[in-house]
Every structure is written in structure tokens, then in C-alpha cells.
Structure 1
Amino acid sequence: MNPTSIVSLSNANIYQGSSLVLNNVNLEVGAGEFIYMIGRTGSGKSSLLKTMYGDIYLKEGSGVVAGFNLKDLSWKKIPLLRRNLGIVFQDFRLLTDRNVYDNLEFVLKATGWKDKALMKEKIENVLTKVGLKNKGVKMPYEMSGGEQQRVDIARALLNNPKLILADEPTGNLDPDTTDEIMQLLFNICRDYQTAFIMATHDYSIIQKYPARVVRIENGEVKEISAAGV
């Protein structure tokens, strides 16, 4: 394993229950690296992401994510792992009965923050970063899809993650909003040296915002070039 790697998977076999989904996965991701993960629906993209954030236990092979050994991941350690990760979903998953500020405060409290002043400062910082300064009082239903996705990204940034896992983050967005979100993700990657792994079906995004690409097919993870998608 490279000492600067944020993700290091070696000869990893990924299972869903007793079914082998991905075979002999070898993947290294460094700090500040942006990677697209492509593949058909059901090919195993989500299973690989779930393994990285501790939702699926790694039975065979070796894996280290953000300094945590996936083979040694007890239920007590999973929250500690996830404090070092950010997760961005396609469907936002915001708490609809709370405003933006309260959505973010909920995450901070759940991950051990207690100082009200520090929480307020952190929330204001991440909202400014994603272009939603002064939008903390808004309810999710009052916001566009693009604004809600920005809140989701702000939530992912709260604990200064080493790695952000994004599962089809532009899947529900129009082309102009997709452009805005992709520019934001690349800026975060550059400014914070945060590693990104983004699962997507949209090859036009990869052509417009080129980066390293891995393809999942036939139970294997293969390195390809952006031009090869």
C-alpha cells in the first residue's frame, strides 16, 4: 500500500450475502484524486461503495480506507470510519421536516460535535463553500434540485473528509445544474485535496470533465482512459 493512499484494495472479493459480486478488486486512490466509476446497473458499483463505507463487510482480500482496515471493522469502528468520509446521494436524503441549518447540525451532533459556536462556524463555512451562504433557514422543499444537492455536498464536507463517495450525484439534475455541481466537486477536490470516487452512467460528464476512469463489468474492476468510455 502506498502511504499516501486514501483507498487501497488488494485482491478484494466483494459479496452481497453469499453471492460473489466483484472478484479480485485491486484499486489505489490517492489524496486529491478524482475517479469515475462506470458500469451497468447491477454491475456492483454500489456494492463497492458500500464496502468502502462499511455497509458491506470485506470477507476476502485486504482493504484500507482513510486509515481504517476494512477486515478489522467492528460495529464500534464504523462510525469512526464514516467521520473520515463524505457520502453524496442521487436523491439528496435530506430531513424534510428541518431547515438546512438543522440538517447540518444534526450530522455534527451525530458525529460527536458539542460546542454550539464551533458548529455554527462550521455550518456557515460549508454553506459558503457550496454557494448557499445565508440559505440555512430554507426548508428542503423550498429549494431547487441543484440547491438540495449542494446541501448534500455541504453535509458531506462537515467533518473534513479524506474521501467523498458520490453515487450518481447528478442523476436527477438538468444539464446546466449538472455543470454547476461538477465544477463544485472538482473545486473541492482541488482545494481540500479530498479524494473523490463518483459512480455515474453519464459518459458526457466524463468527456467534459475528464479524470481517471474505472469500469466495472463481468465482476471485475478495470482501469480505462476517459477516451475509452
Structure 2
Amino acid sequence: MSDSIVSLRQANIYQGKNLILSDVNFEVQKGEFIYMIGKTGSGKSSLLKTLYGDLYLKEGDGNVAGFNLKDLKWQNIPLLRRNLGIVFQDFRLLTDRNVQENLEFVLKATGWKDKNLMAEKIENVLSKVGLKSKGFKMPYEMSGGEQQRVDIARALLNNPKLIIADEPTGNLDPDTTDEIMQLLFNICRDYQTAFIMATHDYTIIQKYPARVVRIEHGQMKDVTHAGIA
């Protein structure tokens, strides 16, 4: 159990008063890569939001990166999120700042103060994603794949135990998708970072196989690789 990053037991996931998912039992171990599949509106986003504290867990038990979701107070949500990384489909970079300044903004927002340590950390994460010399670039000067690498670098800043990736390849061409998937799997392997990746692209799952969970009809279940279609 000490290697468990996410543990949900008999959890009911709500949006407001609406029950979205019922009796969710879900475990994620250190260094595990998991695909989450399901139709739009099936409840994937609601589950992910519960994991990073955007939705309150009302019923059942939940623990993420050592934080009890049932007892989570609003003032502790930033502490939870320091242990997580979130990668978005649409990058969400600050367009009026260069790459270095985008990453500095996140470090300052999560309590970093020492400029030298921040510069060292930024160089480290940019190196991990293959953008060591691109800190001066503005987002609009970069390709979609480069912007997604910056988004991944941003998610790595606080050495997260878990990265939640919501359709991270949805806006990318096939060759760039391959590059990003190889990068995510390398991070998972080399740093033992757990990943939960929501995707609609089953060709990715065929090419980069890992555990698959499906959300449908208000339920979550593990599915075999052969049963995802």
C-alpha cells in the first residue's frame, strides 16, 4: 500500500447534486501508466477533477498522494496540487510571457522564492523534455508539439507523484503524438511518476499499451487491451 498514489474505495462522484459515477474502486501505483477511456460526458473529467480537488468527494473513501479527499479543506488544495502535475490538451500557456517566465510563474505560485534555485529547476525540466535551449521563446513562436512539451515541463516542476494528462495529444499530428507519448512513457519509467491519461485515441493505446480503465454508464471498470474497441 505504501506505493499507492491514488486509492478510491466505494467512491461516489458528484457534480453538484448530480451523481455522475457510483461505487468507484480505483488504485494507482507509483510509476504506473493508466489510460482512461469513455465517451464525452461519461464522467472522465469529473473523476479527474475529484482527484485534484476541484470537486469534493462526498461519499466513499479517497486518498491522493497522501491527502485524504474526504477531509480536504480548501486551503490544503494547493498543497495537494503541488504533488500533482496536470497536462492539458490546449496547453494553457501564458501568451504574453516566454517559456522561462511561464515556468517561473508556476514556481512562484507554489511557494518558490530563491531565484537561483528556480533557474536551476527550470533548466532541469526543460532538459527533461528536450527544450533546454528554448527558454527565451514565446509560445506563439513554437510548434504545437513544443508547446505541449512546455506544458509537460510545467507539470514536472514540483516533482509530482502523479501526472494527470487530459487528452494531451488531441491537437497534435501523428508524428508529434508519437514524440509526446515516448516522452510521457520515459518520464513514467525514469522517474517512477504515475500517469493517468484520458484519451479518445485508441490507436495510441494499441501502439503504447498500458492498463486501461473505461468509464461508461456511471461506472468505472478495468478492461482488457482487447476489449477497448
Common fold: TM-score over 0.5: yes
Shift of 1:227: 2.0
Distance of 2:43 and 2:80 partners within structure 1 = 22
Q: Does 1:98 align with 2:97?
A: yes
Q: Which residue of 1 aligns with 2:203?
A: 204
Question: Hey, what's the Cα distance between the residues in 1 that align with 2:54 and 2:93?
Answer: 20
Q: Unaligned stretches of 5+ in structure 2?
A: none
SS of 2:41's equivalent? coil
Q: Which residue of 1 aligns with 2:81?
A: 82
Structure-2 residue corresponding to 1:107: 106
Does the Cα contact within 8 Å between 1:86 and 1:165 map onto a contact in 2?
Answer: yes
Q: Distance in 2 between matches of 1:79 and 1:226?
A: 35
DSSP-derived class of the 1:76 partner: helix
Q: Contact 1:207/1:227 (CA < 8 Å) preserved in 2?
A: no
Runs of 4+ in 1 over 4 A off after TM superposition: none
> In the TM superposition, what is the alpha-carbon distance from 1:226 to its structure 2 partner?
1.7
Give, as a single letter, the amino acid of the residue that structure 1 aligns with 2:124: N
1:169 aligned counterpart, secondary structure: coil
**Offset at 1:64?**
0.1
List per-residue Cα deviations over 1:102-156 (Å, max 9, x = no partner).
0000000000000100000000000010000110000000000000000000000
Report how far residue 3 of structure 1 moved: 2.3
User: Identity across aligned pairs (percent)?
Assistant: 83
Corresponding residue of 2:115? 116
Name the structure 2 match of 1:145. Answer: 144
TM-score, normalised via structure 1 length? 0.99
Q: Distance in 2 between matches of 1:24 and 1:150?
A: 35
User: Across the two proteins, how many residue pairs are aligned to each other?
Assistant: 228
Aligned-partner Cα distance in 2 for 1:192–1:225: 26
Aligned match of 1:157? 156
The letter of the residue matching 1:41 is: T
RMSD: 0.4
Q: CA shift at 1:89, angstroms?
A: 0.2
1:163, 1:194 within 8 Å by CA — same for their partners in 2?
yes
- Give the distance between the partners of 2:75 and 2:37, measured in 1 at CA: 32
| Cross-structure match for 2:23 | 24
In 2, Cα distance between equivalents of 1:73 and 1:105: 27
Contact 1:53 1:81 in 2 (8 A): yes
- Report the residue type matching 1:133 in the other structure: K
Corresponding residue for residue 65 of structure 2: 66
1:46-81 C-alpha deviation (Å, 9 max, x unpaired): 000000000000000000000000001101100000
Write the distance in 2 (CA, Å) between the matches of 1:208 and 1:227: 13
Q: Write out per-residue CA displacement over residues 141-189 of structure 1, whole angstroms, 9 at most, x where no aligned residue.
A: 0000000000000000000000000000000000000000000000000
Is 1:169 aligned to residue 168 of structure 2? yes
Q: State the Cα deviation string for residues 8-65 of structure 1 (Å, max 9, x = none).
A: 0000000001000000000000000000000000000000000000000000000000
- 1:85–1:156 Cα contact (<8 Å) kept: yes
Return the alpha-carbon distance in structure 2 between the equivalents of residues 52 and 211 of structure 1. 20
State the alpha-carbon separation in 1 of the partners of residues 3 and 197 from structure 2: 20
